A and B are shown apart, each in its own frame.
Chain A
Amino acid sequence: MDLLALAESFVGAEGRTAALRWTAELETSPDGTAFVSHMTNEQNLQTLAEGKQAIERLVSALLGRSAGEPIKWYLETAEHQDLAFKGRPAARSLPDQLCKLHRGYAVWSRLASPTDRPAVASSARFVEWLEHAVCGQHYLAALDPTAILRGRVPAVFSTFEQDRATAFPPGTPWSRCWQVVGLDPPNPPEPCVLLRYSLAEVGPARVPTAFDAADNLHFVPVLAGAGWGMTKDLAGGGGVREVVVRSFSVARLRRPEFIGA
């Protein structure tokens, strides 16, 4: 997608100048180059009415942008202007069961029940809580059912459980699990859980776009017309299929699985 040309076509030279200023700032900010690259390689957004409208809203917002913090500005704008989740609908033939690898401390600080989450007295106790309470049979009682599971922009990158079975079946070393879904394994190791949910419950799903990926270093641009995205497998394998879904409440989760560290 040629953002400068699109900006000019929407609002004239002023739009082109604003887009140029923003992309120039992105290119000189840490990780901003990844975002510029994703936008350059984006092939689906401008072919869809919804995608085009999202680009137009971005350009309008760019006209009023003050200089500085280009990524933070985008993340806030994406939320207020509803820029994410604008790719083509995911292929209908895709499986129903989805999952997402989620960091343990994100579960504790963002998804746990705020009135009774246990004090993290030690790493061992923290792991025990994840394994036996969060991933136990009463998992919804350990979590806050009203908490919202969200991604960095308001869309959640999800992997298909069917692909998980071949790419990182139960028992796969934790660092390999991270790599398969395109994430750098944390150092020091951090326990995590596999959140599981059904497309029928949290859907619909869409093909991820540059607007969903923002500055994600490992996002793989989606081919024109594709029915799903593909994760970059950092260990060099084939990766797994992925889609994005809207943020959804914890009440819709099925029983999570402990991955450990």
Chain B
Amino acid sequence: MPRNPFGFLLDIPDSSAISWLRSYLRGESTDPKVAVPADVDSLSYLLGRVHPLGDAPLPRKVGTLAATLLSEAVGLGLHRSGRREDSAFVSDLFTLVEALPLSEAAAATLNDLATAGRLLGGDDPDFHLHALRALVLHQRPQPGEIRGYVEFWRRQAENLRHAPTAIQGLLRISAPAAIEMLPDFVTRARTATPPVPLINTLFAVAAELGLALELWKTLRRAFNDRFVDLEAVREALRGLRVDERQPEVWAVLEAPDPQPGSLPTDPEPIWAMRYESPRSERLATARQKCEQEQASGRPLLAAA
């Protein structure tokens, strides 16, 4: 298999790699190293070549480089320069950070950026949205911090434009908390002018809940006595062919209004039920260890 066209980034010093990535995204490179095919833009080409590699060294390297460039760009105020090319550059950096794995340090910086995004963004309505989107996969709540994160996302969801991202963010740390917010979001989205589409948000819900039927039952219960909203949810999920692909889930959604359930609504004990990323698995392990330590009376983890 030919070497990845961006593989050289692993072999050169960070300072050179940062400089190269900046030039590449801005279309300024005098030493291209990578020939971007004529049918695609440089950002999409880069994503297509490194994202399929998952949490491997190259995507992590590119994601971390992008996070460094993003910090630099925000520090320089490029997002507020008023120049179209600066705004596009910052947006591309956010997209890379949103999609790629990051080093621990870069993820921590991103957490700070997202929590301060509304202040840093100034008049730019997209800046905070970019920062929230990037936080979805990179949020790193430690045991004991989940409630704080849940509250953070709940506050973001008050703005309808940020609500879909907030639901995605919640789904990663506490599916029940996300489900709890869903009916209100659906009502607001459906009655907004123009209506806010539900497809992508419900795609994220379906993907995160998977075949966890208890969570689906909780979702179904959340829509008790909200027939119009429930029908909108069903319609979107039918559009995603959930009825054909996951008949057992569909059966739950089609059931008549069930009785209130007993699934705990406190996010802490169930926040890391089933996540795909190794990071979440690590955090789940840390949580488990913490609980064992609590039970045995030995010292707790520092972060708890």
Which residues of A pack against B, CB within 8 Å? 30-31, 68-69, 72, 75, 101, 103-106, 108-110, 112-123, 125-126, 128-129, 132-133, 136-138, 141-142, 151-152, 157, 183-184, 186-190, 213-217, 219
Contacts and interface: CB of A to CB of B under 8 A. Distances in A.
Contact of A183 (B39, B47, B126, B276): B39
Nearest to A76: B27
A214 to B, nearest CB: 7
B44 A138 contact: no
A121 B276 contact: yes
B240 interface: yes
A133 B41 contact: no
Nearest to A181: B39
A122 B204 CA distance: 12
B191 to A, nearest CB: 16
Interface in B40-88: 40-41, 43-45, 47-49, 51-54
A142 to B, nearest CB: 5
A136 B37 contact: no
Task: Name B's interface SS.
Answer: helix
Contact of A30 (B32, B51, B241): B32
A215 B98 CA distance: 31
Nearest to B241: A132
B204 A216 contact: no
Contacts of A122: 54, 276
20 contacts: A69-B30, A75-B27, A101-B39, A103-B48, A109-B44, A113-B197, A116-B200, A119-B136, A119-B172, A120-B137, A129-B200, A133-B200, A133-B240, A142-B200, A186-B49, A187-B1, A188-B4, A190-B48, A215-B38, A216-B38
Given A72-B28, A115-B165, 12 more contacts: A75-B27, A105-B47, A106-B44, A109-B44, A119-B136, A121-B277, A126-B51, A142-B199, A151-B39, A183-B39, A188-B52, A216-B38
A109 B47 contact: yes
B137 A186 contact: no
A103 B77 CA distance: 32
B38 A213 contact: yes
A121 B199 CA distance: 17
A109 B43 contact: yes
A177 to B, nearest CB: 13
Contacts of B44: 103, 105-106, 109-110
B38 A214 contact: yes
Contact of A119 (B4, B35, B54, B168): B168
B164 interface: yes
A214 B172 CA distance: 44
B201 interface: yes
Contacts of B30: 68-69
B39 A152 contact: yes
Contacts of B245: 132
Interface in B259-301: 276-277
Interface in B142-192: 161-162, 164-165, 168, 172
Given A116-B165, A122-B54, A183 B197 contact: no
A191 B74 CA distance: 33
Contacts of A136: 199, 239-241
Going nearest first, the 9 A-B pairs with the smallest beta carbon separation are A116-B164, A141-B197, A216-B38, A106-B44, A105-B47, A138-B239, A116-B200, A141-B199, A105-B48
A119 B138 CA distance: 10
Contacts of B52: 123, 188-190
Contacts of B54: 122-123
Contacts of A105: 44-45, 47-48, 51
Interface in B124-147: 126, 129, 133, 136-137
Contacts of B28: 69, 72
